[in-house]
Each structure stands twice: as C-alpha cells, then as structure tokens.
Copies of this chain bind each other. A is one copy, B any other.
C-alpha cells in the first residue's frame, strides 16, 4: 500500500453530537433539541491523531477542550531534568484540557497512545454558551468536579497502597471506565505501555511487570502482552483495598 494518505477527507468526518455514541458521557447530558444543535455547531472534528502525535504541548496557549472519541490520550508533565511524569490516561468519552482553563496555558502535554480521534470544543465559544444553556453549564461543572474527585482518589492510590494495590486499582479503574462505555469490563486492550503504567503509578517498570506475572500465576488475571482479561475482579478489589505496607491507619489531629 503506497503512503498516499495524509490528506484526510474532512467531509467524511461528519458526525453530530446527537448521533455520537458517547453523547451521554461527553458534554451534552441533559441538553435537548435546539440546544444540542447549538453545541454541535461549535464543535470541530479534526483528523485523527496518529500514535505518538501530540494533541497539545505544555506551555501552549489554551484554546479548546478535547473530547476523546476513539483511541486513548496520555497527559504528562516533563520536569527540568527531562523526566516524564504521566498524569493520566483519557479514554473515549473523556475530556482533556480542563486543567488549562485556569491559567490559559496547558500545564501538561497530551499525546495519542494509538490512533485517536477527538472533538475540539473551542473554549471561547463554549464558555458563553454555558450562560444560555443551564444543562450545559451544569454538565461542565459536573465534569470538572468529577475530575477533581477522581484525582483525589488517585492520591489514595499513590499515597497508601503498595505496588500490588496500585496495579489492581488501576486495572479496576480501566475496567469500570470501559464498562461505562459499553466495552467489556473483563477483557480489554491496554493502550499504554508498561512504562507508562509504571510511571503513572509511581513504580518501576520491572515492578509492574512482576506484579502482572504474579497476578497471573495467582489466577487473578490473564495477560497476553497488551491484552488483559480479569479473572477474579473480586479479589482484585480486595487487593486494591489493602493499604500499603506503610500507613498505620493513625489519625492526625
């Protein structure tokens, strides 16, 4: 096959929010008819990102929010030493860029983990629209609030869990999110590398790898490279619930 493409047929990508299978997860929840059309009009579909391509980079001016339609995005920071810190993975139906509203600049970089398509929602058009459409306004607040809550629960993972708990919690989080999107809760393909998982969980790659094999030998799951099948989600929940070696459950003042 000759490398002819790169010129994408924009006409083809003509999917209204209304018909988007994600429309209950994305913005338009509780918005109907005419309002939905107004939202639809400001949303821009872009050509899909190839694996490794950036959606935006740290320091770039904030222009739009992005809703993942298919594929997966990882967001990450790079410190002075060039060290990468993965801060999150974004699956279909999830929004990227909410952290940039505050300062008008993206504090993180975002790149595609695989071929990924997103909807671009220009913020300078979305923001005034929220004044007129109460459902849209509330939904945006809800989504941001949930993002905060989920970040907080990740603190618990990073702060109190041992390596096994972290990986278990991570897999269950993916499982739940895939299930919400109508995919299988028990079998899915990891879009990210072990390195990314390790980084996200604050572990070494080797530790992640070892725990995958340990989980497998204990019959908790079966992995085949990127493919994961959860065999005993209940026990995984239990492991995810255990606190780290540390945490003596002491209460502070």
Residues of A within 8 A of B (CB): 51-52, 74-75, 77, 79-88, 98-103, 107-108, 113, 127-128, 130-132, 134, 137-138, 140-149, 151-156, 158-160, 192-193, 195-196, 199-205, 241-244, 246-253
B146 touches A145 (CB 8 A): no
- A87 CB contacts on chain B under 8 angstroms: 152, 155-156
- Not counting A103-B146, A202-B244, A202-B246, a sample of 20 additional A-B residue pairs whose C-beta atoms are within 8 angstroms of each other reads A75-B152, A79-B156, A79-B241, A80-B241, A83-B243, A83-B249, A87-B152, A102-B149, A107-B153, A130-B131, A131-B131, A131-B132, A148-B148, A159-B201, A192-B253, A195-B251, A195-B252, A199-B247, A199-B250, A205-B250
- A134 CB contacts on chain B under 8 angstroms: 128, 131
| Smallest Cβ-Cβ distance to A196: which chain B residue | B252
- A51 CB contacts on chain B under 8 angstroms: 253
- Checking B75, B81, B85, B249 against A159 with a beta-carbon cut-off of 8 angstroms, the contacting residue is B85
| Smallest Cβ-Cβ distance to A248: which chain B residue | B204
A81 touches B241 (CB 8 A): yes
A127 touches B137 (CB 8 A): yes
B81 touches A243 (CB 8 A): yes
Cβ distance A99 to chain B, nearest Cβ, rounded Å: 4
On whether A101 and B137 interact (CB within 8 A), knowing A159-B201, A250-B205, the answer reads: no
B252 touches A74 (CB 8 A): yes
B192 touches A145 (CB 8 A): no
Distance of A98 Cα from B79 Cα, bound (Å): 28
Distance of A252 Cα from B130 Cα, bound (Å): 37
- A246 CB contacts on chain B under 8 angstroms: 202-204
